[in-house]
Amino acid sequence: MIIGANRGIGRALLDGYLERGWECIATSRKEQVAEDNVSWIKLDVRDPNNHIPITGELDLLICNAGVFLDRGDKIGSGFEAELWEDTFATNVTGTYLAIETQLEALRSSNNPKIAIISSQMASDTTAPGGSYIYRSSKAASLNLGRNLATDLKSEGISVGIYHPGWVQTDMTSNKGNLTPTESANGLIERFSALSIETTGCFETWDGKIHPY
C-alpha cells in the first residue's frame, strides 16, 4: 500500500512494484483512472475521517505523501502559522494516521513492514539552516518512525525511515540529480532488505546509513 502514489516518487514506486508482479493499493487526493493490479483509494491524509482500514493482509505500507510549503521563506517574511499547520498535518499526522489505521492488516501479514519516506533534511547533525517548517516536519517523521520501530518490534513489524535522494519531481522543480525511477528502484531494494534486525534504520535510497 503506497500512500501518495499518483505522481513523483510515489508513482515510480507503484510502477516498480507493478513491474515486479505485486498487487498494489494506492492512494491519491484525487480520483484516479482504474489500472490492472491496482486498487486506487481517494485519501486526504490530513482528514482522520478519510482513513479507512483495509481488509486482509498488508505486507508493506509505504508512507510517501508529503508537502514542502515553505520553500524560499525567510525569517521575518514567511513561515506563517498556517504553513506549519498544513505541513505537519500532511507530513507527520497524516503519516501516523495511515500507520495506525492499517495496523490490523499489517499484523495479519507474516512479514509486515512500514517504510516512511522522510528526507536528509530531517537530520539534526546536518543542519544548514532554512526551510524550518519542512525540516521540522521531516525531523518529526523520523522521530515518529524511530519510536514506532521500538513499540512495534515485539509484534514483528519492521519500520524503516528513508531519504529518497534529490529527485526530479515537482517538489524539487525537477532540479534533482536522480530520476523518480532511479530513486524508486533503490528504495525498493531497501524495503526488501528491511528486517526486524534493522528496524528503526534511517537510510538513503542507495543503502547508506544516514546520520540522525
Task: Give the pLDDT confidence score for residue 171 in this predicted structure.
Answer: 63
User: What grid cell was written down for 147?
Assistant: 519510536
- Output the CA–CA distances (angstroms, integers) from residue 159 to 29, 59, 78, 80, 106, in the order listed: 25, 12, 34, 32, 12
3-class secondary structure per residue, 132-165: HHHHHHHHHHHHHHHHHHHHHHHHCCEEEEEECC
Task: Give the pLDDT confidence score for residue 125 in this predicted structure.
Answer: 87
Task: Give the pLDDT confidence score for residue 124 in this predicted structure.
Answer: 86
> Residue 192 CB: number of other CB atoms within 10 A?
11
The C-alpha atoms of residue 26 and residue 43 are separated, in whole angstroms, by 9
pTM of the shown model: 0.94
Structural domains in the chain plus CATH codes:
2-204 (3.40.50.720)
> Residue 26 CB: number of other CB atoms within 10 A?
25
Go through the chain and tell me how many residues it has: 212
Cα dihedral across residues 108, 90, 88, 63: positive or negative: positive
| Intervals of the chain under pLDDT 50 | none
> Do 190 and 205 form a contact (C-beta atoms < 8 A)?
yes
> Do 162 and 117 form a contact (C-beta atoms < 8 A)?
yes
Task: Give the pLDDT confidence score for residue 176 in this predicted structure.
Answer: 67
> Do 200 and 39 form a contact (C-beta atoms < 8 A)?
no
Three-state SS for 25?
A: strand
Residues 6+ apart with CB under 8 A from 205: 162, 163, 164, 165, 178, 183, 186, 187, 190
The β-bridge relationship of strands 60-63 and 38-42 is: unpaired
List the alpha helices (DSSP H) in 8-65. 8-19
